[in-house]
Structure formats: C-alpha cells, structure tokens
A and B are shown apart, each in its own frame.
Chain A
Amino acid sequence: MRVFKMAWRNVWRNRRRTIVTIAAMSLALFSMIQYSGLMTGYLHGMERNILDLEMGDIQIFASDYLDKPSIYNRIENPGDLIKKLEAAGYHASGRLKGGGLAAGENSSAGAVFRGVDPGQDASVSDVYKHVLRGEWLDVGEPAGIVIGRRLALSLDVDVGDEVVVLSQAADGSMANDLFKVQGVLKSIGEEVDRGGIYMIDQTFRELMVVPDGVHQIIVRKPPTVPLDKATDEVASIADGADTRSWRQLTPTLASMLDSSRGAMYFMFVIVFLAIAIVILNAMLMAVFERIREFGILKAIGVAPWVVFKTVITETIIQTGLAIAAGGILSIPAAIYLSTYGINLSSMSGASIMGIAWDPIWKSSFSVQTFTGPVVMLAAIVLMAALYPALKAAFIRPVAAMHHR
C-alpha cells in the first residue's frame, strides 16, 4: 500500500494543526541549535580565557612553590627545560612572580608583579592582545608596565602616568622604582584585574634582585594531544619539578565548566520534553479524530503493522519538514551569532569565578551543534508518536467504527 502517499495526504488534512506542530518543532530545534551554539561558545570562551590569557594548558613550578609561593622558590636553568619542551612539540615560557605595593599619586594598592619575556610569552599567552588602552610591553621601554584595569582605577592612573612600586627584594633590600604605565589591560581575571602588573622580565630581575631562574613555566600543548597525556609527558620532561594541568590547578573552575556542559544537555531534555508533549498531543488528536478510519482500515484487512507505519510515517514527514525549516533558519542566525555575537558591553569586566568573561558573547558551531539537537528532536518526537501509533494499530475494528 502506498503508505507514504496516504501519510502525506493525512498530514495535510488539517493544514493549520500541521503547520502549528511543524512550527513548534522548528522553533524548538532553532532555539536548541542556537542555545547549543551559544553555550558551546560560552564554554569555549571561558576555557579560552582560562588557558590563553592566564594559565596555559600546563604549568611547571619549583617543587615546593605551590605550598610556599616565595620569590626564592624558583626553577633553575629554565632555558634548558624550555628547549626540551619545545623539542617535544610544546610551547613554553617562563614567568617571574612577586608581590608588593603599587602607588599612584594619591593612592596605593597591593599588587602582583609578573616578569615576562614579551617575545617568548606571546607563544603561550594572548594577554598581549588584551590591552584596553595604550600598548603591551616593549623591551625597548624597560620602565614601562602594563596594569590590570581595576588596579588602574584603584590607583587612579592611566596610560602615561607614573606608578611607584615597593617590595622586598630577594637579597633583603628594599625594592622600589618608578614605572610608567604603558598600557591598561582589558578584563583578564580577578587577580590580574585587581592587582596585576606586567613588566619586562629583566626589569623584574633588577627590581627584585632575582638574577636567574623563573617562578613558573607556562606550557601550551598541541591541540590534538589530550591534556592528561600532555601533563604526564611534560612532568617526565620536567623531572623534579611540580607539573600541574590547568584542571588540577583550578579544579572548581574545571568542574564548573563540566557541569555547565551537563546543564546544557539537561536544558535540551527539558525543552524537547515540552516539545514531545506538543507532538504527543497533536498526534493523539490526529489519531483520535480518525479512529473510525483506522477501524475501517482494520476491517478491510489492513494489518496493524501497516497502520502503525502510516502514523509513524506521518510523524516522520512532520519532523522532517520541521528539521528542514529549523535547520535552514538556524544557518543565518548561527553565522550572525558566531561572527558578531551578542554584545553584553554593559556587563564589561564581569568575571565568573575569577575568570574574565568576554563582553561579546559569540556562538561556536560545529557539525555536532546541529546534529545533536536534530537527533534529539527526532528521537523524542518518534517516542511521543509511539503511543498514538500503537493505539491506532491495535484498536479493535468494531470499537473504532462505533467511535464518536
């Protein structure tokens, strides 16, 4: 029997209901594709901010640095270690860290100084791209510093202003010097925003009297290498040092990202369950208003399986049209959201668990962003259609034909 032809004609018998049902499914699919893209974008953005601006994939410290973060606990001969890491396919750069006081003309605040080699650091961090005003560090300007945006507000300084830095140097002497604000950073993270001062590594060494060694080495792995595997490999190269992945260094943040992914799937299920109820309702209406017809089909000898197939085919037709409509509508929206994003400038500077949140919220799309919601929609709709289809298939002909 021409099941498809009959199902197709049945679908368009109640045009308005069919259009409403298809529209509901399309809208759900459209919403879920965009939601999936935005959530993926948000999670990628968060992860990117964590890794690209602050942490890298892996960090190496002197063995007891994390327990006793002190200017004296340093990795000696970092150059050799960095060469070994680069030979193994990793990017790595050393950083110096120390704390002290920063003072503007009228106020002062606690600060964390970071000494970096601008050339080498660019291979492991994008912080140099996140300058809000002014310029990033320049080895030709050893007295130039780049500071966090909130620190700039606290000190009431801006690009071109002078900042005095005070601390205790490694040799026990008073470290103090006058620096010029060369740049103010965009929001990076709580620690950098409130107290971060970036300076040239050589400047740091002179200020803090640290002639050699570094306090941490930031390592970036090739994208294809899994984090755990890379951490193990880096640990074996940096034997005797303390090697940690970013997930080990910030477990709460890592688990928040994981649970956000879980929440995204949970949201999928809730929305699609709501859609399943719409479909179930539509299919039940479609079946019950034709119950006499199913009785007739059964009476003239149509097998239950064929009746079942007819109702399921009607569902497949509607779902197919909804997927086509939802999918086609999603493409331009996805292109727009991944190119321009949603401007949340009013929340500029906001951070989540100390990690900066990009005020332009962009979507991130992949094949899975589309196929995930499509497969879920199809599965849930078919499940919702099962009961009406079985009901139609196994109805007793005489009861069906007397149905009013």
Chain B
Amino acid sequence: MNAENPKPIIVLENLVKIYRQGKLEVPAVRGVNLEIKSGEFTAISGPSGSGKTTVLNIIGALDDPTDGKVFVEGIHLASLSRSALSKLRRDRIGFVFQAYNLIPVLTAFENAEIVLALQGVAVKDRRERVMGLLADVGLEGMEHRRPDQLSGGQQQRVAIARAIASNPAVVLADEPTANVDSSTAEKLLSIMEKLNRKQHVTFVFSTHDQKVMDRARRIIHLVDGKISNDEIRE
C-alpha cells in the first residue's frame, strides 16, 4: 500500500436506496458517489433521515442497494453470495452500533473474542489479542463481566474491541456516541482516534454529534440522501 496515496477501500458508485412501504416509495439515498481510503477517520453527518445509517448499512453489506454499485477492497458486493457476504462482514468489516449490540449471555471477553473464534484463530492467540484490545480500550480486569454488569460507555468499548479484533479493513460506527454522556463520548473518540493513528484502522462514522465531527479528518455531509458537502481537514 502506498502511504502517500492509499487505495480506496470503499467505493460507492451512484448509490440509490429506496424503501418501499406498500405502494409508497421512500427514497433514502439518491445517487451517492464516494471513495473512502485506507486509514481515513471519516464522519458521515447530516440530519435525521438524511440517509447516513442507510449508507453505512449498505457499505457493511447489511442491506442491499436499490441501484448503484458498492465495492469493498475492490470487491463488488452484488457479486457475492449471502455466505460470502457473511464471511466478508466477519473478516473485513467491523461494526460499532449506537445501541452497543453486545450478546447479553457472553462476557466482555467472549463478546470481543467471538469474531476471532468464528475465524478459527487458536485459543492462545485470540486470548492474547483480546486481552490486549480490552486493555487498549481501558477494560482491563472487566473481561469476565457480562454486558448488564457494564456501563453504557464500557459496553461501547467492548463493541469497539469486538469491531477491531479481526483487523478489519474498515470499522463502520453508527452513531457510536449517541447513547453515552459527553465525557464518555470523548473517551470513546480518543480510543478510536488512537486506534486509527497507531493501528491505522479505518473508521467511518455516521453521526450528528459535533464532538465526532470535530475529531473527524473528513466530513461528508448528507442532505436528503445526497452528498451536499465533502470536507477534508488534513
């Protein structure tokens, strides 16, 4: 990879998403063209209903576009089967959700470890990796706690550890600070920024939180499903 001019890991070509509710058609994304390069710390911002989450879901292969093309690391998502998409999500994409979305019956360690276990990583290696990540996100000593024994901020840290455990090409974070107080939000952002700078993890946020936008090095502003502004702040 050329550090000066990294390859785009996400490419959206004329992306369209229309939701159908009976006979009613609700366009959520209307022809978005976008390239996100490796190592970016990008925020997709916009008001509610502007299509931020929809774009993130489509990039993450959680939802299908109505029209247009999506490429992740050069792979056209429409060409993949369901199981291949599942594998792509497991190996190349990390998710951080607004509602944390941890598995309630698993401990912090097990939640962070789950993707590595699915990949068949050896027990010793995954233990080492996960313990290191939990330490990185400030959860040392809390690995045996279940989600209901953790605060919202702590749960989101576990979610971040889970998202980056498998060294994904990109972490898609949907409103990651929406459910935590501002001091926790700052801490979470610092963790993600540190991971971005030190481990070169690519982050793409959907957000309307000013704190996230202040830290982002690129802000893509969506209005009514279209990019109204794309600002790079290097």
Residue contact A401 to B118, C-beta cutoff 8 Å? no
In this assembly, does A100 line the interface, its C-beta being within 8 Å of a C-beta of chain B? no
Q: Which of A6-14, A118-126, A205-213 contacts B (4 or more CB under 8 A)?
A: A6-14
Q: A9 vs B110: C-alpha distance in the bound complex, in angstroms?
A: 13
Interface string of A45-82 (1 = CB under 8 A from B): 00000000000000000000000000000000000000
- Given contacts A298-B86, A300-B89, whether A401 and B105 have CB atoms under 8 Å apart is no
A1-B114, A302-B86, A401-B97 known; A297+B60 contact, CB < 8 A: no
Residues of B within 8 A of A6 (CB): 103, 105-106
Chain A residue contacts of B60, Cβ below 8 A: 299
* Shortest Cβ gap from A21 to chain B (Å): 18
The smallest C-beta distance from B208 to any residue of chain A, in angstroms, reads 19
Q: Using Cβ atoms and an 8 Å threshold, which residues of chain B touch A300?
A: 89-90, 95, 114-115, 162
Interface assignment of B80: CB less than 8 Å from any CB of chain A: no
Distance to closest chain A CB from B102 (angstroms):
8
Chain A contact residues: over half helix, strand or loop, or mixed? helix
Contact A304–B104 (Cβ < 8 Å)? no
Nearest B residue to A13, CB-CB: B105
Bound state CA distance, A292 and B60, in angstroms? 17
Q: In the complex, which range does the number of interface residues on chain A fall in?
A: 20 to 34
Q: Are B57 and A302 in contact (CB under 8 A)?
A: no
A296 to B103, CA, bound (A): 8
The answer to whether A2 has its CB under 8 Å from any CB of chain B is yes
Interface size class of B (residues with CB under 8 A): 20 to 34
Give A148-168 as 1s and 0s: 1 = Cβ < 8 Å from B's Cβ atoms.
000000000000000000000
Q: Is B103 a contact partner of A301 (Cβ separation < 8 A)? A: no
> With an 8 A cutoff between CB atoms, is B48 at the interface?
no
Q: Shortest CB–CB separation between residue B199 and chain A, in angstroms?
A: 19
Mark out the residues of chain A between 274 and 296 whose CB falls within 8 Å of any chain B CB in the assembled complex: 292-293, 296
CB distance B57 to A398 under 8 Å?
A: yes
Provided the pairs A299-B60, A398-B57 are in contact, do residues A13 and B117 lie with their beta carbons within 8 angstroms? no
A404 to chain B, nearest CB (A): 11
Does B95 contact A297, Cβ atoms closer than 8 Å?
Answer: no
By a CB distance below 8 angstroms, the chain A residues around B102 are 296
The closest CB in chain B to the CB of A292 belongs to: B101
A299 near B83 with CB under 8 A, answer: no
Nearest B residue to A302 via CB reads B118
| Max chain A Cβ within 10 angstroms of own Cβ: one of B87, B103, B117 | B103
Output the least CB separation between A37 and chain B (Å).
Answer: 40
B57 to chain A, nearest CB (A): 5
Interface readout for B63-87 with A: 1 if CB under 8 Å, 0 if not?
1000000000000000000110011
Q: Is B18 an interface residue (CB 8 A)?
A: no
Instruction: Check if A189 is an interface residue, CB within 8 A of chain B.
Output: no
A56 CB, nearest partner CB in chain B, Å? 65
| Cα–Cα distance between A292 and B101 once the two chains are bound (Å) | 8
Q: Give which listed residue, B57, B87, B104, contacts A301 with CB less than 8 A.
A: B87
Is B62 on the interface with A (CB-CB < 8 A)?
Answer: yes
Complex interface: chain B residues within 8 A of A303 (CB): 83, 86-87, 118
Taking a contact as CB atoms under 8 Å apart, the answer to whether B105 and A9 are in contact is yes
Nearest A residue to B100, CB-CB: A296
Q: Once the chains are docked, how many angstroms separate the CA of A300 from the CA of B87?
A: 9
B224 interface residue per 8 A CB criterion: no
Residue contact B101 to A301, C-beta cutoff 8 Å? no
B193 within 8 A of A: no
A13 to B106, CA, bound (A): 12
Query: In the complex, which of the residues B63, B88, B104, B118 contacts A293, with contact meaning CB atoms closer than 8 Å?
Result: B104
**Is A401 within 8 A of B106, CB to CB?**
no
Closest CB-CB distance, A328 to chain B, in whole Å? 28
Q: 6 pairs across A/B with beta carbons < 8 Å?
A: A10-B105, A296-B101, A300-B115, A303-B83, A306-B118, A397-B62
Q: Which 7 A-B pairs have the closest CB atoms?
A: A301-B90, A9-B105, A301-B89, A398-B63, A398-B62, A296-B101, A397-B62
Interface residues of B (CB under 8 A from A): 57, 60, 62-63, 82-83, 86-91, 95, 97, 101-106, 110, 114-115, 117-118, 162
